[in-house]
Amino acid sequence: MNRSKQVHPSTGEWPQKEIVIQEMMSSIAQIQRRFQAEGIDEERQWMISQTDNAEIKAFLQESTVVMLHVIDAVGRLEPVNGITISKQFDIPRGSVSKVTRRLIVLGVIQSESLPDNKKEVLFRLTPLGKDIYDLHEALHGQIERNAKRFMQRYTLDELQLLAAGMRDTLGTSFVEPADGQEEAEGSRSGAPETAVISEILGQLQRLEERELRKVRDMIQLMFF
């Protein structure tokens, strides 16, 4: 379907389309709450279950998402300085400085200076840091394998529809109405008032009823 052209549903189709959209918005709100509730805790518990190393277990109990991202950055780029970590992984420089100092204290990374430039500080993983990095990589592999296996249940058309929706969402503002579309007065008075949900609602209104039902069914299968 050409998504550059606005879809104008018929008078008879509009109420049905609105019902499907509202069902999907409710599911999306539940997905948001689920991911916020689980998030890093689910990943942390998986990594803890995969190691017998008491040091790693203790670190993971106290670790933050940014800590794991910095370890990942150092493991991929070492020896690497803080500026490169910030640029390559989109982490604020202040956060990189704070986290690297903490990781040095915990014995996860180590710092060194260049012989000809003492101000240039580079970071490397310690043996403990390497073990944590490898465990985090194993988590990424686990997630990727499970995601690919999960998505095999869908047809090519269904996957293409989801991929198109994701591309549309990534290329659209989360503040302004999608493609200049105005909100229908009162039509979304009961929808959750969040920027993400409002944006997704704008994207959904561009789909035909048949496609909306497919997306609704896929959300139910994927998350509930």
User: What per-residue confidence (pLDDT) applies to 63?
Assistant: 94
Classify residue 158 by burial, with Cβ atoms within 10 Å: 0-12, 13-18, 19+.
middle
pTM (predicted TM-score) = 0.66
Q: What is the pLDDT of residues 81-129, one digit of tens each?
A: 999 999 999 999 999 999 999 999 999 999 999 888 878 899 999 999 9
pLDDT confidence tier of residue 4, bands split at 50, 70 and 90? very low
Average pLDDT over the chain, rounded to an integer: 80
Q: Which phi and psi (to 5°) does residue 80 adopt? A: -145, 145
Residue 47 CA: distances (Å) to CA of 63, 128, 148, 168, 214: 12, 14, 20, 34, 35
Residue 183: per-residue pLDDT: 47
Confidence of residue 206 (pLDDT cuts 50, 70, 90): low
Tokens representing 17 are 């389309």
The answer to whether residues 200 and 178 touch, using CB atoms and an 8 Å cutoff, is no
Going along the chain from its start, the domains and CATH numbers come out as 14-37+153-223 (no CATH), 50-137 (1.10.10.10)
Phi first, then psi: give them for residue 110, nearest 5 degrees.
-130, 155
Answer whether residue 10 shows pLDDT above 70. Answer: no
Residue 222: its pLDDT value, please?
58
Strands (E), 18-157: 109-114, 117-125
For 1-15, what is the mean pLDDT? 52
Tell me, what DSSP letter sits at residue 90?
T
Residue 173 scores a pLDDT above 60: yes
Of 106, 108, 82, 110, the residue nearest 96 (C-alpha): 82
The answer to whether the beta carbons of residues 31 and 223 sit under 8 Å apart is yes
Quote the pLDDT of residue 29: 75
- Count CB-CB contacts under 10 A for residue 201: 22
Position 54 confidence tier, pLDDT thresholds 50, 70, 90: very high
Whole-number Å distance between alpha carbons of 6 and 203: 11
Rounded mean pLDDT, 134-145: 95
**Is 164's pLDDT higher than 60?**
yes
Taking 60 as the threshold, does the pLDDT of residue 15 lie above it? yes
